[in-house]
Structure 1
């Protein structure tokens, strides 16, 4: 872990966010940077980070965002800020009125540069262009971008959920302890639908379907050239809780064994015989981000929100708890056998 970093921004709030996320001092600097001529957000972030390090002579972070429309062959891409400052969000939508293909890909790139060179980390969300500007809880293109399955622009979403999606999309590993349910990254659509319907009785079928689609979209991180590393520890009771009925539960457990067979996915089960154990009754998730600059965050679901813990003392406690859970749980092969037995017990 590096001792400190400078972020090129005039926004002190952004520096505070990075400081709490990374757990290191983060300074700010305002620097006139090279204008990189590219629609590729990662290339822009890399070029600017390299230029910032050359001018400041210390480890730096530069972030950039882009919005690519396949129907416009990737435009506006990294030029989205210029588009928005020139014509505004509604003006951009007006230009896209005739589009029948309204797919959009939102990308955030973080460029880090030091004496060893430049590294870029990107996170992407797939979605569509809205038909009108909606919401006031965001900046940039947040009010015109609708992530797949949500039915809402980023500017209409609670900040905690937008932050969760952004964090998960850029994490390199996720460690999760769950005492009641199969985690969202491992759920089948039918299981997810049953969970969402039970937890949100006021939602109509269309909204449930949208939320299921978001959950399935998140699972794309488990595949690809650089898949997310996922390590899940489950209480045995998760295997025997009939969510959506016996058939849905049976299919979910079968899906769980298939996912656990992936080299980037590890599933362990805490058997009933253990009795009480570390973090008993308190599910949590630890997300780890690429180094440099690295960083970790603990996330805990609440009924209608999410709680984030980023202090070093909190991270130490939860990492210790996760290590104790992994040590107490059955090994992956024994856990798989227990899941298979649970399927057989369903008849």
Structure 2
């Protein structure tokens, strides 16, 4: 007899299978969350979030689970498939995701939140959770994994130059609360402080007043083959711009915003000022 699904029945996703098997293996081993924490070497709160579907396990945790539970690579494989599924993007974003891997230079501007490739996982989780009411924990975990998958472009042997211009509003808005914001700012400082020098950030302070990109999100990508294009994103939609005239016009707007931004030293000073403020409020 076949295993045909009912008409409205959906197959379990890799993330759903992973969280179910994680809890089942732990309970079959007779372990509480705290006992599993000691055996696996990870915080019990982290394991709890994996079992509830709030997040995917790290590769290290998946490997530890496979070793302790004797599951012969099951959790590593489920995690890999879940991350690959999460890396799928809406059609309007496919070109950006593919081009990020081939880019020599990525320039971005964001007026409201920290740009995606600079986001810490806790910030991304809070951002999606608070801005997407009605979405379940599994869906949020998928989106967070997708963002983490994209960030790998900055971790390779030859990362592109990533230059972010960020409005001060993105630092002032407390996504997830003071502790999350403090972690987010530390994450940015770590990326900027890496020896490769591939990540640069400038902040447009409130004192600079109005600039042409208020309220928007813009990415300019220069690929290694010489091609370039722009990507303008709005609420739940986005559009790629490829004609040289239009790309040049958007590049001019970004250049104007850059002239209103603090230099690197002053930007780092402002980031550390916000870090002290959020640490104090924790």
Query: Residue 122 of structure 2: SS of its match in structure 1?
Result: helix
Corresponding residue of 1:278:
212
Residue 30 of structure 2 corresponds to which residue in structure 1? none
Verify the 8 A CA contact 2:163 2:199 in the aligned structure 1: yes
In the TM superposition, residue 148 of structure 1 has moved relative to its aligned partner by 2.5
Residue matched to 1:269: 203
Work out whether 1:160 is the aligned partner of 2:96. Answer: no
Aligned to 2:252: 320
| Separation in structure 2 between the aligned mates of residue 271 and residue 304 of structure 1, nearest angstrom | 27
The answer to whether structure 1 residue 332 and structure 2 residue 269 are counterparts is no
Q: Give yes or no for the alignment of 1:224 onto 2:160.
A: no
Secondary structure at 2:101's aligned position in 1?
helix
Query: Are the counterparts in 1 of residues 111 and 213 from structure 2 also a CA contact under 8 Å?
Result: no
Shift, 1:127, TM fit: 5.1
1:169–1:103: structure 2 CA closer, same or farther, 3 Å change rule?
A: farther
* Alignment check: 8 A CA contact 1:179 1:234 kept: yes
Deviation at 1:304?
A: 2.1
- Classify 1:196/1:327 alpha carbon distance in 2 versus 1 (closer, same or farther; 3 Å): same
Residues in 1 aligned to 2:234 and 2:129: alpha-carbon distance in whole angstroms? 16
Tell me: CA distance 1:212–1:149, structure 2 relative to 1, closer, same or farther (3 Å). farther
| Aligned match of 1:195 | 127
Greater per-residue helix proportion: 2
1:100 Cα deviation (Å)?
6.0
Deviation at 1:318, TM superposition (A): 1.1
Identify which of structures 1 and 2 has the higher relative contact order when contacts are C-alpha pairs closer than 8 Å and 6+ apart. Answer: 2
Q: CA deviation at 1:221?
A: 1.1
Higher share of residues assigned strand: 1
Distance 1:331 1:281 in 2: 22
Per-residue displacement from partner, 1:141-180 (whole Å, max 9, x unpaired)?
xxxxx75251x8x5xx532233332122222221001111
Q: Deviations over 1:155-208 (max 9, x none)?
A: xx5322333321222222210011110011011111001111222212110111
Question: In the TM superposition, what is the alpha-carbon distance from 1:101 to its structure 2 partner?
Answer: 9.1
Counterpart-to-counterpart distance in 1, 2:138 and 2:235: 21
Q: Which residue of 1 aligns with 2:165?
A: 233
Q: What pairs with 1:66-85 in structure 2 (closer than 5 Å)? A: none
Which structure 2 segments of 5+ residues have no match?
Answer: 1-72
Q: Distance in 1 between matches of 2:75 and 2:273?
A: 47
Conserved? CA contact 1:171–1:288, under 8 Å:
yes
1:213 is matched with which residue: 113, 133, 145? 145
Deviation at 1:276, TM superposition (A): 0.8
Shift of the 101–273 alpha-carbon distance from structure 1 to 2, 3 Å rule, reads closer
> TM-score with structure 1 length normalisation?
0.55
Moved over 3 A (4+): 99-104
Aligned Cα root-mean-square deviation (Å): 2.3
State the number of aligned residues: 205
Alignment of 1:249 onto 2:185: no
- Specify the alignment match of 1:178 in structure 2: 110
Q: Deviations over 1:313-347 (max 9, x none)?
A: 21111111222222221111110100100111221
